Structure formats: structure tokens, C-alpha cells
Amino acid sequence: MKRRCLLVLLGVFLSTCVLLGVLFYFYMNRSLEIADISFVSYDEEKGTYTIEVLQKKDFFVRDYACVATNDQICLMGLSQNNRCELTLPVNKQFAISLTHQDLSSPSYNLLDYMGNVLDFSYAQDVFYLTINEEVSFSYADVLAYEQDIDYAFSYSNPSVVEVNGTTIKGVGPGEAIISTPYSEKTIQVYVTDLVSTPVFSTTKKTLLPCNRYTLEESEFLDRYLAYKIEKAGVSSRAAAVEAARFLTLSFPYRIPYFYENGRLHSSGVNYVDGEGRYYHTGLYLHSSKFASISHTFSGPAIWGCPLTNWEPKEEIGYPYGAKKPNGLDCSGFVAWVLKNAGFDPGDIGAGNSNYKYEMTDLGDYQRLSRALFSSGKIKVGDLINYSGHIGIIIGIDDTYTYVAESLPHLGGLVASRYTESQLLNTFTHVVFMDVFYVNDGNYQKMW
């Protein structure tokens, strides 16, 4: 019995010695190694990002410090529950290591553990293009460390767009998505053949047919127009010019002239909506727009569809009571332009009449003269007038002044060009619109 106890004690002693030896061996050979480095968060305001550094589990090393170093900076964080966080400034190279008392880990390259792109965004994430139109897109990125990145932008539908670097070209009608493997954010591109880039021609466009557009096409054109206005700068001079150029230069059909059956105005003067005028945002191309029309007299009828004319102008083809395609008169067009540009002047008249509300009251109304014309004060977006008629200037170059206007003898809404002499012989006044527009937006003298 005594011998058995001695053997047991000897066994325990030997086992303890072996265990202590093993523990001593592992203690003497303990080491620090990084198991993983991962991205935690990015602080845009401070220009820093936080990473988490995980140690390979070690029985003897539970508390350690993580260190980030480069030629200029040394940053340290302390571990908690085997995890250590470091907050680093953006766009700097760092080597990461661990320390514990007299132990140090090898240095680990941050590039080997986490992606470089901390934040990525497109300056614009929706584009509307016409066929063969080209635009460039831009982006902003925040990098953890200095490095040239090829974002390898790709596109989903080659029959709709081509992408070369950061240039998008419209190829055919449809939708496409542009993306990069470095971000979940994308660019949505819509390409259309329903309109063109602005083009001036002395050849008169075909008159808009009745019911030419489907509901889907009508809604798309409204979105396209709103996009162009936003790009120009809502409630700016450029926005008004964009709306006027859109309907006269980009839209493929000529909007008919139609004598107004009334105005949508709180003055109560001939309170009629959508007949010779259309004082709403968007285009009047589908019967779905009737939902917003109030106080009709002979309508409703969308642009291009028959409507009874109550203006006795038989000598120029407008017999009293005859059916004519609905469209816009001169002030109806300019009112539509200003409404779609983001203003609300009211559905007002052309000027030089007995009505209280007139477009010639919107700005600085001055007599047009050769000296005034030569002064260079007239700008694209100013209104131009003679008694009973109003138009809007949509372009000025070295030879011509381009005016968007609607007149019966012109067959409806057109872009006309005038030499200096022609302009002075046609119009009598100009309305300087600086006070009305307040700001120019993305103003361009020519398209």
C-alpha cells in the first residue's frame, strides 16, 4: 500500500514536471503575430479611419499594444479582449506591429490586409443623354494610403452607352449602369432618341401630330426636361434659356400656334387652362395631363390635337369656331418657359395691353435702339417685345441674335435668327431680366 502511494506521488510529480516543462517551453518561445487587420469606420469630418488589429491567440500574451508607424508618425492603441483599435489619418502609408513587454511582432503591410478605398462617391449619379452625345463624369474618393487606383469602370449595356475612362457616349436608346468594383455606388444613364442636342435650322420642323407620344414617352420627356433644368440651375437665367431651347431646338416637332382661349390667372381674366397656354411644369403631350387642368372652355386638348378657336382671324387661317391644333401663343410660351425654369410670375400677357399683368413688367423695360444693342447689355434670357408680342432671346453670336417665339404667321413656336438690322426693325423693346432671375446659373450665350 505504501509502495503504491509512492508510485502515485512519483507519477504526479513527473506529470507536473512535464507540464511545467511544456509551459516553460511555450513561455520561452511565446511570440506576437497578427491574425487579421480589418477596416472599422471612416470619419469624414476628422479625416481619419479606424482599423481593428487581431492577434493570433497566445496563452501567455493577452494584453498587447498595436502600433502604426511610418517615416513621420508613430501611433499606438491598447488591446481589450484580444482586440486592438488604431485611428489613422487618411492617405498615409503605415506598417502595423504588436508589442508586449519585451516582445515585438514582425511589421505587417497594411496593403496586404484591407482595401485602400475608404469612401467613394460620384459627383453626379444620373445622366440623360441623346444619341452620340458625350459627357464626362467625375468622382471623389478617400484613400487609406497613397496609391494610384484604376477604378476599371464598366457599363452594363454596350448597345446603349460606351465608356472610355470617365467619358460616357450615348449609343442607342435605353438604360445602362456604370459601376466600379471598388464601390457599390453606380451611375444610371438614360439615352433617348426622343430629343436631340440643341440644333438650329432654317428648315421649319414638322408640326406636332395629335397623340404622338405614349404615356411612358411623355413622362420620360418630362424627366428629361427637369434634368436639363436642374443642370442649368433651377430658378436661374440659364434655366429659362434651357427650357426655351429645349422646346425650340431639341424637341423634334413644332408646337402649333393657338390663340389663347383664356389664362390661368388669379386676376380672373378669361380664367381658362391649357388652351393656347399651358401654365404647368412638363410638356402637354398626353391626356394624363388633363388631371391637372382646370376651368376649360373648349378643351381639354393636348398640344397638336384639335381645339375650337374663338379668335376671329380668318385672314391668317384662324376662322372663328374652327378646329385648330392646340399649342401656345407667344406669352403662353414664355410663361411656360419661366414656370418650368422654377419661377412663378403668373400666367401673364405679352405686354402693351390693357391688362394689369404683363411680362414687360417683370424686368427693366427699355426702348430698343442701335446704341443699346451695341452696348452689349442685352443677354441671353432677356425678353424681347413689340406691341402684343413677346419672345425670349436664346442665343447671341457675332452675327445673329436668336429668339424663341410663337406667332401664327410663323406656323407656331420656332427659333428665329435676326441680324442687328432685322432685330431693330422687328422689335421695339427689350426687358432686362437681371432683377427677375437674380442669378445666371450655368449661363451660356450659345448652345
CATH classification at residue 177: 2.60.40.1080
Q: What would the grid cell of residue 160 be?
A: 446603349
Model confidence, pTM: 0.85
Say if residue 122 is in the same domain as residue 80.
no
The C-alpha angle 156, 159, 163, rounded to 5 degrees, equals 60
Mean per-residue pLDDT for 10-27?
A: 50
Name the domain count of the chain: 3
Say if residue 275 is in the same domain as residue 253.
yes
Is the pLDDT confidence value at 94 over 70? yes
Please spell the DSSP secondary structure of 353-392, one letter per residue: SS-S-BGGGSSEEEE--HHHHHTT---TT-EEEETTEEEE
What percent of the chain lies above the pLDDT cut of 90? 74
Q: What pLDDT digit, counting tens, does each position of 325-380 carry? A: 999 999 999 999 999 999 999 888 898 666 677 999 999 999 999 999 999 999 99
Q: Is 197 contained in some domain? A: no
Rounded Cα distance between 48 and 42, Å, is 6
Q: What pLDDT digit, counting tens, does each position of 39-84 carry? A: 999 999 999 999 999 888 765 556 889 999 998 899 999 988 778 9
* 292-310 b/e (C-beta count within 10 Å ≥ 16 → b): ebeebbbbbbbbbbebbbb
Q: Is 443 contained in some domain? A: no
Look at residue 3 in the predicted model and tell me its pLDDT. Answer: 61
Full domain range(s) for residue 258 = 215-437
Say if residue 148 is in the same domain as residue 296.
no
Look at residue 146 in the predicted model and tell me its pLDDT. Answer: 83
Average pLDDT, the chain: 90
Say if residue 61 is in the same domain as residue 176.
no
Say if residue 259 is in the same domain as residue 165.
no
Q: Is 344 contained in some domain? A: yes
Q: Is 318 contained in some domain? A: yes
CATH number for the domain harbouring residue 43: 2.60.40
Say if residue 407 is in the same domain as residue 319.
yes
Say if residue 378 is in the same domain as residue 341.
yes
Is the pLDDT confidence value at 247 over 90? yes
Look at residue 22 in the predicted model and tell me its pLDDT. Answer: 42
Say if residue 236 is in the same domain as residue 315.
yes
Say if residue 220 is in the same domain as residue 328.
yes
Of the candidates 112, 142, 159, which is a domain's last residue? 112
Look at residue 147 in the predicted model and tell me its pLDDT. Answer: 84
Say if residue 389 is in the same domain as residue 251.
yes
Look at residue 271 in the predicted model and tell me its pLDDT. Answer: 83
Say if residue 227 is in the same domain as residue 85.
no
Of the candidates 68, 90, 112, which is a domain's last residue? 112
Of the candidates 192, 207, 233, which is a domain's last residue? 192
Say if residue 293 is in the same domain as residue 400.
yes
